[in-house]
Structure 1
């Protein structure tokens, strides 16, 4: 039996949610990544939005001038998304890989 770190209630090892307080147990890479992305999304967008837009625009323009504007637009979107999501991905990969965390 595991113990919920928030309310100290015993939780079955197979359970993913504490029935007393609703805390969620996550033990997969993508689950931890999703929680990190949600937690850091507002700060990442504030801090990295302008550099992400610039990187995305530069890649989009350079790709778009060599091929078509549609591919440049796709490159712009991927450049912006990668700039915003990269910090959460690296944090999860380095610090929270194969670990169990509880989130509320």
Structure 2
């Protein structure tokens, strides 16, 4: 599913126009991004937790030449699914 599919699904499920569904989805994604940028977690009950973590600097390899390169430290987004989502994916009621 891509963003256009998600917009169409939300619009149909809630009875909104696609323009209104687009605004709603954009607002949710913006709120999640803003919270992650400040280092806070976003907890959605029954769905999961979005958080950030630090990735340490490390040495990697250029796949074309095999030469060693330094990969800089960075922050990455992480998602941990809730138990309810895991159960749903695995067929539990």
- Is the shorter-chain TM-score for this pair beyond 0.5, marking a shared fold? no
Structure ranking higher on relative contact order (CA contacts 8 Å, 6+ apart): 1
TM-score where L is the length of structure 1:
0.31
| Structure with a larger share of its residues in strand | 2
TM-score where L is the length of structure 2:
0.34
